[in-house]
Structure 1
Amino acid sequence: MKFAELLEIVADEPVFETGFLRSGRAPEPGLEAQLSRWCAAGKLLRLRRGLFALAPPYRKVKPHPFLVANRLSPGSYVSGLSALAFANAIPEYVPEVTSCGPARPHVRETPLGRFSFRYVKPALRTGYRLVGLVDGQSAFVARPEKAFLDLAHLQPGGDAPAWIDELRLDFEELSPAHLRAAAAATGSPKLARAAAHVIRRASDPASAYEPLPVP
């Protein structure tokens, strides 16, 4: 395969897998070696084994980090601080993309950024949806209420009022009803306490981030 042919096949795909190049084509035994040579030449970016992106200036579309995260770990969804920042529910910029899903906990350093993945059991893999991103891209992202609960679930002491207050949540971006229902659906007393604290804060914005008694 020539590089011009690869560009024609990939077209405006932000990321692509080796199988995508083979689809509907005769077998090419040397394809993996050719892809490695293009990576070494700076024409391709290897994100993980079998997953690539075109390097600038060859790419037509810049891959969105959330799309990359989904493709790095199939079955995962963006959550935690990343999803909260995306929803404008916290004020800080979050450079690392955090996802939850079926994969073991791990971190991937790629040419397109740093991505961390946390395991959550099947019963907790809910509360996310497919959202539109830039340039026609889309990714599975947790709703802000679920992103908070995932964060609290994975954080030791994630139901502690002081830790929750440090997040400086924007309560206008969180639905108390959705948060209460999502926490109840998990059956976790810890998450019920975390949700209850956020709901109390949201009901009294004037006193936000001042200590409240814990029941």
Structure 2
Amino acid sequence: MSSLAQQISAAGLADHVLSERQLARVLGGGDARRYGLVNRALKDGSLLRVKRGTYILGQRYRSETVHPFALAQSLVPGSYVSFESALAWHGWIPEGVFTTASVTPGRKTLHYETSAFGTFDFHPLAIADYRFLTAVDRVEMGKRAAFIAQPLRALMDLVALRKERWSGLDWLVHGLRIDEGELAALGRKDFAKLKAVYKHKAVNGFLAALEDAVTMARKASSHD
């Protein structure tokens, strides 16, 4: 085990995402010594750089695998996983999603490429005050937790991001390949929770039209 990995493990931080400040506190010594330890650890794989100034020990030095969703919170604190990433996690869309896409509380779109954990994207949306985490769940993932949008919230976030206009269920069922049964299972409470979330009228119009379409489809099905 590398000297750096030993010191981090001894400090009880083997499964933590580490900042430059935490590394400095654990490793001690001068800047030159610390930079030397970090660079050697990066070369031998005992330390991984998640982004500039943010690190995690290599897999063989950790007690558990880090899920990208949990790592997203360390990259951008206060964000939550949404869009196709959350829809795929919930089983709403069949395709594999190789980018962890989140909603950021900030104003800038952010993009990070990592060799060990894939690609991370963070997008700002026009969300009403105090509604940022509406219909977002805290999900335990081993020793970490991730904030993940519920299916309808993830879908409406995607609508807001793409500025989609309502054109019927076809885009959802054939474009995104969402199973109609998932849409039919949505209840009045699911829609009610989101009615005060988005600032743009077009998004709220899409939400209202989707609720009407789901209600009509459910009624038609009950008469069959």
How well do the aligned residues superpose, as a CA RMSD in angstroms? 2.8
- Say whether the 8 Å CA contact 2:138–2:146 is kept in structure 1: yes
TM superposition shift of 1:132? 1.3
**Which string of whole-angstrom CA distances, capped at 9 and with x for unpartnered residues, describes residues 88-139 of structure 1?**
2333322211001115113211021111111124626232232112x23211
Aligned position for 1:2: 3
Identity, in percent, stands at: 25
Aligned-partner residue type, residue 89 of structure 1:
W
How far apart, CA to CA, are the structure 1 residues paired with 2:94 and 2:210? 16
Mapping 1:136-215, distance limit 5 Å: 136-161=143-168, 162-165=170-173, 166-167=175-176, 168-169=178-179, 170-171=182-183, 174-203=186-215, 204=217
**Which string of whole-angstrom CA distances, capped at 9 and with x for unpartnered residues, describes residues 125-156 of structure 1?**
232232112x2321112222221111100113
Mapping 1:1-215, distance limit 5 Å: 2-3=3-4, 4-23=6-25, 26=28, 28-30=30-32, 31-101=34-104, 102-111=106-115, 112-121=117-126, 123=128, 125-127=132-134, 128-133=136-141, 135-161=142-168, 162-165=170-173, 166-167=175-176, 168-169=178-179, 170-171=182-183, 174-203=186-215, 204=217
Q: Give the alignment's TM-score, normalised by structure 1.
A: 0.81
Aligned-partner residue type, residue 19 of structure 1:
R
How far apart, CA to CA, are the structure 1 residues paired with 2:3 and 2:91? 44
How far apart, CA to CA, are the structure 2 residues paired with 1:55 and 1:206? 54
Aligned-partner residue type, residue 162 of structure 2:
Q
- Say whether the 8 Å CA contact 2:14–2:57 is kept in structure 1: no
TM superposition shift of 1:40? 1.6
Which runs of no fewer than 5 residues in structure 1 stay unpaired? Answer: 209-215
Secondary structure, in 3 states, of the residue corresponding to 2:60? coil
TM superposition shift of 1:32? 3.4
Secondary structure, in 3 states, of the residue corresponding to 2:31? coil
How far apart, CA to CA, are the structure 2 residues paired with 1:122 and 1:19? 33
Which runs of no fewer than 5 residues in structure 2 stay unpaired? Answer: none
